[in-house]
Amino acid sequence: MASRKVVKEFLGALMNKIAAKKGKQAAKNILKSPEVKRLAAKAQSAGDELTRELEKKAAAGDPGAKNLLDMMKKLGI
């Protein structure tokens, strides 16, 4: 009975390793896909546009925009 449990644990661990490796490969393939690259470029563009808008408002004297810019800089965004 104990040997059956050991075999079951071994097979479970082996299947988890195989699944993790395939999952990593699938994630790499997804990140390389043109659709994901296009979405990442759109997100970057939207972030840049938001930053420009906040900088314009902060230059005009909006304290809320300045606070947001300061917070974004602290977070590294």
pLDDT in tens, 43-62: 999 989 999 999 999 999 99
9 domain residue, yes or no: no
Quick one: tokens of 41?
């470029």
- Which range marks the domain in which residue 71 is found? 33-77
The whole-angstrom separation of Cα 31 and Cα 50 is 24
Residue type, position 22, single letter = K
49 domain residue, yes or no: yes
pLDDT value at 42 more than 80: yes
- Of 77, 74, 53, nearest to 65 by C-alpha is 53
69 domain residue, yes or no: yes
Domain total for the chain?
1
> Mind listing the pLDDT tens digit for each residue in 5-32?
777 787 788 778 778 888 888 888 888 8
26 domain residue, yes or no: no
Please, which residues have CB within 8 angstroms of residue 54's CB and are 6 or more apart in sequence? 65, 68, 69, 72
42 domain residue, yes or no: yes
For residue 5, the model assigns a pLDDT of: 76
For residue 33, the model assigns a pLDDT of: 86
For residue 49, the model assigns a pLDDT of: 93
